[in-house]
Amino acid sequence: MAKGRILAIEGLTKSFPVGFWRKPVRVLSDLTCYVYENEIVGFLGPNGAGKTTTIKILNRLAFPDAGTATLFGEDVRSNAGFRRRVGFMPEQPYFYEYLTAPEFLRLCGQLCGMTRGETETRATELLSRVGLSGAREKAIRKFSKGMMQRLGLAQALLHDPELVILDEPMSGLDPMGRMEVRTLIRELKAAGKTVFFSSHIVSDVEILCDRVIMLHKGRKVAEGLVEELIGGETLYIELVVSPVLPPERLAAIGIPTDAGYAQGDLLVMRAPGTGVADRWMASLLAAGCSIHSCLPVKKNLEEIFLERVGDADVEGSAS
Residue 28: strand, helix, or coil: strand
Instruction: List beta partners, residue 14.
Output: 28
Question: Which amino acid is residue 24, in one-letter code?
Answer: P
Query: Strands 86-89, 163-167: parallel, antiparallel or unpaired by DSSP?
Result: parallel
Q: What is the pLDDT of residue 235?
A: 84
pLDDT at 158: 96
**Which pLDDT score is estimated for 67?**
95
Indicate the helix (H) or strand (E) that contains 190.
helix 175-190
Q: Per residue in 72-97, is it b (16+ CB within 10 Å) or e — as a string?
A: beeebeeeeebbebbbbbbbeeebee
Residue 206 Cα distances to 33, 44, 196, angstroms: 18, 10, 14
Nearest to 129 by CA among 87, 167, 186, 193: 186
The per-residue pLDDT for 316 is 55
Torsion of CA 146, 147, 148, 152, to 10 degrees: 100
3-state secondary structure of 266: strand
Q: How far is CA 64 from the centre of its chain?
A: 24
At residue 142, the pLDDT reads 93
Q: Strand 194-199 vs strand 163-167: parallel, antiparallel, or unpaired?
A: parallel
Closest C-alpha to 174, from 155, 207, 150, 206: 150
pLDDT for the residue numbered 312? 58
Q: Where are the alpha helices (DSSP H) in 209-287?
A: 226-230, 247-252, 274-286
Helix (H) or strand (E) holding 123: helix 116-129
Low-confidence ranges of the chain (pLDDT < 70): 1-2, 232, 311-319
- Distance separating alpha carbons of residues 55 and 43, to the nearest angstrom: 10
Cα 297 to the chain's mean position, in Å? 22
Instruction: List Cβ neighbours of 89 (8 Å cut-off, separation of 6 or more).
Output: 152, 153, 155, 156, 164, 165, 166, 167, 169
CB 127 within 8 A of CB 101: yes
